[in-house]
Amino acid sequence: MGIKTALPAAELGLYFLVLSGSLAYAGRGLLEASQDGAHRKAFRESVRPGWEYIGRKMDVADFEWVMWFTSFRNVIIFALSGHVLFAKLCTMVAPQLRSWMYAVYGALAVMGTMGPWYLLLLLGHCVALYVASLLGQPWLCLGLGLASLASFKMDPLISWQSGFVTGTFDLQEVLFHGGCGFTVLRCTSFALESCAHPDRRYSLADLLKYNFYLPFFFFGPIMTFDRFHTQVSEVEPVRPEGELWRIRAQAGLSVVAIIAVDIFFHFFYILTIPNDLKFANRLPDSALAGLAYSNLVYDWVKAAVLFGVVNTVARLDHLDPPQPPKCITALYVFGETHFDRGINDWLCKYVYDHLGGEHSAVIPELVASVATFAITTLWLGPCDIVYLWSFLNCFGLNFELWVQKLAEHGPLAQVEARLSEQMSRRVRALCGAINFWAIIMYNLVSLNSFEFTELVARRLLLTGFPQTTLAILFVTYCGVQLVKERERTLALEEEQRQDKEKLE
């Protein structure tokens, strides 16, 4: 009820003014805090000289981001440019061999980066899961896949296998875990699809072509084998009208995002401040709330940039890769919360949807979500923080269903039935605002630290109650209403498009 209901324009305008003013106020507090703390002793390791013509120091606390766009920038550009060049030549000369070109180029790039023994290690895991797929038992394939994944996450096997990497360099550990983890997920997808479609007779060569596609190899996103195989097997792929323009726009947007993040880090030290709890505790409540929110937004931007660059190359190869994750600003339900759409699709297809069915029954949903987060815990690497993160998000996902079931029956359903559609939308937006901050707090645990999350929760919910708590809740409510309005507009446009297609 109230899902497709429009609110008065004046009300939406008020929400926009409140939200934009609040964000500006919180941003001002963060900017002042960053200026005041720039020369603190605790900031020395992660706040260093940045662009000379800006004349400000830069937050370099994110090791991966700094490595991607400094010391490893030229390597990444060279490797992906070579892939695009050889793919284009192969498509022009021998399009039927382009999948082989992807595999050979990818395998050579992996061997050149990580060494021949690392390549042989991954080939061993590929062969093991290929042999399991020949037996046609999905439970065996999934079990072996999880065992392979566990071997890269737990000692002593992880220490032994990491010894297969040749040489040492800054991103070695990141590339090792990324390549191994995604290899296991891809091989498991291949094995499960082989079991589901025994008549298609997939070969080991099909698995190697799938696994060693370079743009997806180290950092994803992951495409399930059925989708990848169907798309890469097209001998003469045809681009939809306007596709090249959209690819250029996506590439340009990724470049703009990279530059914007670099500029942002020269003025807002959002990754360094949480590491100094004494300094963070002195922030105003509004700035502290903005700091917690901006940490999750940055993680989304980081994933969007990574997937944007990789997806640009994949779309040049006539593939339709998973899209970047939904922006954290637009999330107010746990069911849509994920930071990697490819892994989310993989988990949903092989675990969550398989066990949960329509996701409308309480017990099957509980079983499906527990199994899904158990595998996610293994993927992230078992530790206390990951256990806590998995428990909180699993609880949030199930709690949403419990509340939904409760609202569909009994007194709550009767109360909502008496409300107008606009008032129903307002009530639901208020619940969404509460949920939004639950999502932020539950994920801040893993993205930052438990101590910082505890500080934010104490300040916003205990010492700041009721003024700060209600103020932040109202600002969030305004944001949720604007998101709902955007969703309503898109839904109406989609309905109009479908009606137009039917008439034609």
Write the pLDDT tens digit of every residue in 13-63. Answer: 999 999 999 999 999 999 999 988 878 888 888 888 877 777 788 888 888
pTM as predicted: 0.88
- 107: three-class secondary structure by DSSP: helix
For residue range 228-284, what is the model confidence (pLDDT) as tens digits?
Answer: 998 888 877 778 888 889 889 988 998 999 889 988 998 999 999 999 999 999 999
In a domain, 42, yes or no: yes
Q: Is 107 within a domain?
A: yes
343 and 386 assigned to the same domain: yes
CA-derived radius of gyration, the chain: 24
- Considering 178, 211, 233, which residue would you say is the last residue of a domain? 233
58 domain-assigned: no
| 40 and 123 inside one domain | no
Q: How many domains does the chain have?
A: 2
CB contact set of 93 (below 8 Å; sequence gap of 6+): none
Q: Among residues 210, 233, 256, which one ends one of the domains?
A: 233
* Residues 41, 178 share a domain: no
**194 lies in the same domain as 158:** yes
Q: Are residues 379 and 471 in the same domain?
A: yes
**20 Cβ contact list (under 8 Å, min separation 6):** none
Angle at 480 between CA 474 and CA 482, to 5 degrees: 110
**Within-domain flag for 240:** no
Give burial (CB, 10 Å; 0-12/13-18/19+) of 361: middle
Residue 44 sits in the same domain as residue 191: no
CA-nearest of 343, 338, 353, 302 to 322 is: 343
Q: Which of 193, 209, 233 is the last residue of a domain?
A: 233
Asked whether residue 402 falls in the same domain as residue 498, the answer is: yes
154 and 84, same structural domain?
yes
| Higher local confidence (pLDDT), 503 or 97 | 97
d(CA 480, CA 491): 16
Alpha carbon distances (Å) from 127 to 219, 456, 479? 22, 48, 50
Task: Please indicate, yes or no, whether residues 49 and 23 belong to a single structural domain of this protein.
Answer: yes
The sign of the torsion formed by the CA atoms of 348, 349, 351, 355 equals: positive
Q: Specify the residue for token string 């109230």.
A: 2
Q: Is residue 154 part of a domain?
A: yes
Residues 125 and 169 occupy one common structural domain: yes
Boundaries of domain holding 95: 71-233
Tell me the pLDDT tens digit for each residue of 149-193. 999 888 788 888 877 777 676 677 788 888 899 999 999 999 999
Largest Cα–Cα distance in the chain? 69
In a domain, 180, yes or no: yes
Between 413 and 296, residue with greater pLDDT:
296
pLDDT of residue 452: 93
b/e string for 265-276 if b means 16 or more Cβ within 10 A?
Answer: bbbbbbbbbbbb
> In terms of domains, do 45 and 134 share one?
no
Same domain assignment for residues 33 and 75: no
Residue 14 lies in a domain: yes
Tokens standing for 70? 């400094």
pLDDT given at position 1: 43
- 256 within domain boundaries: no
